[in-house]
Amino acid sequence: MRFVAQILALFLGLAMVSRVDADLSGDASKYAQPGTLVPVGGHVINIYCEGSGGPTVVLDSGLGDWSPAWIATQAKVASFTRVCAYDRAGYGFSRPVKKSRRLAWNGGRFVVS
């Protein structure tokens, strides 16, 4: 039963990723870029920081989402410390990736290559 639930969650997640990626990442040019482009590990990503002090909180968007998904949370956290949200490579305002990512089943678990 647990395996069926995992497969169901995977398909739901993949459906959400493809929908969000199509709706947001492809249309990022319609919006004002809220951050700064910085080179990181061979990619150029968009990062937007607010607030001051420490420790710095880093907000990571998953399932193909982008940094504006954190706008309400980021504003609240910025009232007491520095907080940064970023777009993963290939999403939102970050530059596209040159190599495609693939999901594969390996040794009883899913891996991204």
Question: Could you tell me which residue, 66 or 4, shows the higher pLDDT?
Answer: 66
pLDDT of amino acid 96: 87
Q: What is the CATH number of the domain that holds 31?
A: 3.40.50.1820
Flag whether pLDDT at 10 surpasses 60. no
Total tally of structural domains belonging to the chain: 1
Read off the pLDDT of residues 34-50 as tens digits, 9 standing for 90 and up. Answer: 899 999 888 899 999 99
Give the global pTM: 0.61
Give the Cα separation of 24 and 4 in Å (integer). 30
Judged by DSSP in three states, 62 sits in coil
Range of the domain at 61: 2-112
Q: Stretch 46-69: mean pLDDT, rounded?
A: 91
